[in-house]
Structure formats: structure tokens, C-alpha cells
Structure 1
């Protein structure tokens, strides 16, 4: 046992099977039930985790803008930056307006929670090492 060579954490981090999380973010699909009922067919959003930089941008926003900003960054499909979602004549002039115009406050908050989970928040990501 004493002659057994321990692999360093650095060596483990250098393994090719450990992806660059900036390029390989976790994703999940989430159905927005109210929109499904209204549309008569499933309305399923594709969500993804945020990069470190995106998370910081969201956290730098005023509290009342954080959830909707996270949905903007973390919603892969639909892309709320698509100009077709804008309707200046109805006061929808920015992607954030498009989100607020189509989703209820509760839906935005629930999507934000799912995006946070995909980003590594709201769950334990570290384990305590005993007798290390």
C-alpha cells in the first residue's frame, strides 16, 4: 500500500475526459405548462448552465433583474435575443422585455432556479474529506 503512487489532483484535472466547462455546459429541457396549455402542444425550453463570467454578470445586476437576466443567458432555445420576439409598438424593445412579456414572474423564477442548478448552485458540489 505504501509503494502505491498517488495521482496528483493536477494530473486528474489534466485528463482529457474532464471537459472545459465553458464549452460543455450541462443542459436540460423544461416544459412551461401554462404555455403548453395555451399553445395546444408542448412548449419545451432548452436550458443550460451559465459560465463563470455569465454568472458574475447576472450577480452584478440589481436583484430585481437577476432572474430575468439569467433566463436570457441560460435559455438556449428559444433564444430571447431573436429580433422576431420584439414588438416596439407593444413596449417589447429588448430581449428582457420579451421574456417578461411572455413568461409569468413565477415561470421566470422557476427557470432561474433550474439554470442555477445546471450552473452548480443550489446543490452540494463539494464533499468533505475526513482524515486527509
Structure 2
């Protein structure tokens, strides 16, 4: 069976984006119970949109706001807690989901989530393997 036939023979629902859970230990200690967030891999179209939103073209080239990229990626991929929930935003006096993320998580925590999202999305070692013909 060639790859086209293989793809045609499977259910497209099998292409669901991978998900992962991480415990935020600082918040677990604060709430005295496990604070486990859930997020998913990022789709290529989402990543392209976020990259466009984080780039500024200057006379010297292109600048990328890496902090904003991390927050936007985490926001787009976070499944639980629902940071787009208006009641949650109001509770923390955050005018939008980005400000809620900044109130809930330290930058190091967001960086860890961002790194995990990148790993889930296929970046990193051992994601593809060269086939060697002997």
C-alpha cells in the first residue's frame, strides 16, 4: 500500500491534534490541590497568524516579539483553564485573555507551556527519521 492509499483508507478523525497536561506547581501550592492545565498542539495556520502578529518590519529588518508570541501561542492552544471565559477574566480584573494569562502565569511558566506546545507540534528531536537504504 502506498502512502496515498494509506491516507485514504483511514478516518480523518485520527488526525486530532495531540494534547498534553502540565502541573503548575506554584498554583498547586496556592490552591492546595493539583493545578493541571491542558493544552494542544498548534495548527500551521494558527502559527502563521501568530508569527504575523508578532513581527514588525523595521528599516534594519524584521523584529519578533518573542514574549508576545509565547503568550499568543499559549492562549490559542490552552484548553483548560478557559482563559477566554469572561467570568474568569472579570474575576481577575483582566480586560482580555492576554492580561489574564499574565496575571495567572509567570513568564517562565508560559515559556514552559510554549516549549511543550512546540514539542507537541512536531518541533524537536526524533520527530522524523531519515530512512537509510542499505
TM-score range, shorter chain: 0.7 to 0.9
User: Which of residues 14, 39, 42 in structure 1 aligns to 2:8?
Assistant: 14
Alignment of 1:26-105 (within 5 A): 26-62=18-54, 63=65, 64-87=67-90, 90=93, 92-105=94-107
1:125–1:103 distance in 2 versus 1, CA, 3 Å: same
Q: Which residue of 1 aligns with 2:61?
A: none
Q: What is residue 115 of structure 1 aligned with on the other side?
A: 117
Any runs of at least 4 consecutive aligned residues in structure 1 with deviations exceeding 6 A, and if so which? none
CA contact (8 A) 2:92 2:100 kept: no
Higher helix share: 2
What is the TM-score when the length of structure 1 is the normalising length? 0.82
RMSD of equivalent CA atoms: 2.2
Quote the offset at 1:89 in angstroms.
9.0
Residues paired across the two proteins, number: 123
Structure 1 residue runs of 5 or longer lacking an equivalent are: 1-6
Q: Which moved more, 1:38-47 or 1:56-65?
A: 56-65
Gaps of 5+ in 2: 55-64
Q: CA deviation at 1:125?
A: 2.3
Deviation, structure 1 residue 44: 0.4
Seen in structure 2, the aligned counterparts of structure 1 residues 39 and 14 have a Cα distance that, compared at 3 Å, is same
CA contact (8 A) 2:83 2:89 kept: no
Structure with bigger gyration radius: 1
Sort the Cα spacing of 1:66 and 1:31 in 2 relative to 1 into closer, same or farther, 3 A.
Answer: same
In proportion to residue count, which structure has more strand? 2
Deviation per CA, 1:15-55: give whole Å up to 9, x if none: 2156463xx11111110000001111110001111112112
